[in-house]
Amino acid sequence: MNAPRRLATGLALLLIAGCTDARSIAAPASPVGSAASPAHRVDASGHFDANVDFTTLRLTPRGRNCLIDVDGQLVFTGTIVGVATAHTQALVSATCAQVASAPPGTYPDVFHSKLSFTGTVDGVPTQADGMYAGRSQPGGAIDGRFVFSSGMAGELDVQARIAVGGTYEGAVVVH
């Protein structure tokens, strides 16, 4: 019973294949007007400056801790060149009264920033969404990570200082 069905399926495929040229079967056509270039891996390293807009700073008590919300920008140089707008939330291990009366980085925190990047990666124009997350130590040293998606994807290790900037290193894939 299966033999007639297989024969009919095989004949249908041959008939369809006979109505096209050989290239259509071996390689699907790309979308009309598509100028997409292939993705490629880039080893990335460089520097970034952190520009904090302290006029947007909001402090919200969370028990004996303080939640900070603030906007700013990260300005990249090196393999990645451009600007990422950022909204950052940090949970600081201090009361909001202590945070308000001390310089940034006085108390340890954990943070994450939502990023929207526009610029170039290895000379290729790129827009990407991302996240910057990590921990700061008393004194402001940061161990963190950039994680990007969309126009570039990948993770970069970060060594930085709060409200100053730092260095990044790792690999991304540029789409």
The pLDDT of residue 37: 61
The pLDDT of residue 117: 98
What's the token pair of residue 30? 């790309």
The pLDDT of residue 38: 80
Selection from 154, 175, 146, 151 nearest residue 47 by Cα: 146
Q: What is the CATH number of domain 40-174?
A: 2.40.350.10
The pLDDT of residue 36: 55
Neighbour count for residue 119 (Cβ, 10 Å): 19
Tell me the average pLDDT of the chain: 85
The pLDDT of residue 159: 98
User: Distance (Å, rounded) from C-alpha 164 to C-alpha 175?
Assistant: 30
**CA 28 to chain CA mean position, Å:** 31
Name the more confident of 82 and 5: 82
| DSSP E strands, 123-164 | 124-136, 141-150, 152-161
Q: Calculate mean pLDDT across residues 94-120.
A: 97
Cα dihedral 117, 119, 125, 129 in deg (nearest 10): -10
pLDDT of 4 higher than 90: no
- Give domain limits for the chain: 40-174
107 burial type by CB count under 10 A (0-12 exposed, 13-18 middle, 19+ buried): buried
What's the token pair of residue 1? 């019973």
% of the chain residues with pLDDT over 90 = 76
